[in-house]
Amino acid sequence: MKKINLKLATALLCGTMLFSSCVGSFSLFNRVAQWNNSLGDKFVNELVFLALNIVPVYGVAYVADALVINSIEFWSGSNPMANIGTVKTVKGHDGNYLVETNKDGYTITKKGEKNSINLIHDEKTNTWNVEEQGKTSKLLKMNDDGTAEMYLPDGKTKTVTLDARGIFSARNITTTNGLFFATR
């Protein structure tokens, strides 16, 4: 269980580096679009889409995201539209995992089990840590120069860039024969 959770935590953190952007997440606009897509079949969705464009709900949501919400997210580092307490199901190789959004990170639990791990972001040091059964370990630190410092199991650190090449390097560092370093 511990090895599986740490594998998932490492994979999720590597994924966050791939999908981060200073453009912003446009969460308000995306919520409106998701709500529209959840209403019914494609004909209902199209009618609601047209109505929300005529009444300019989509336009107002987009402008609010671009000018206000994404600016707050960029300068503060936190998304004011984040759904704290939201739980999403993520499919893993060996079952489903429940990922709950917390104020400072995520709680990951394998479905049907009680043990969980916490991915915690420390804003003061700009580090991501993993906490399991009362033990906390540093995973990585986001640097101001567009790089991340990875904490390796031997106590050393490795700096990687936050681009595709850096992610590839991080995967090579963290995997040995298909096993993540955090599982040792």
For residue 16, is pLDDT > 60?
A: no
Cα dihedral value 74, 80, 83, 85, nearest 10: 100
What is the pLDDT averaged over residues 49-73?
75
Least confident of 31-40, 72-81, 120-129: 72-81
3-state secondary structure of 125: coil
For residue 36, is pLDDT > 70?
A: yes
Least confident of 17-21, 32-36, 167-171: 17-21
CA terminus-to-terminus distance, the chain: 12
For residue 8, is pLDDT > 70?
A: no
What is the pLDDT averaged over residues 160-182?
68
Cα dihedral value 64, 69, 72, 75, nearest 10: -90
3-state secondary structure of 10: helix
More confidently predicted of 10 and 113: 113
Q: Which residues on adjacent β-strands are paired with residue 151? A: 157
What is the pLDDT averaged over residues 9-27?
61
The pLDDT, as a whole number, for residue 34 is 82
Joined together, the tokens standing for residue 63 give 């402008």
Distance CA 10, CA 7 (A): 5
Whole-prediction pTM value? 0.52
As a whole number, the mean pLDDT across the chain is 76
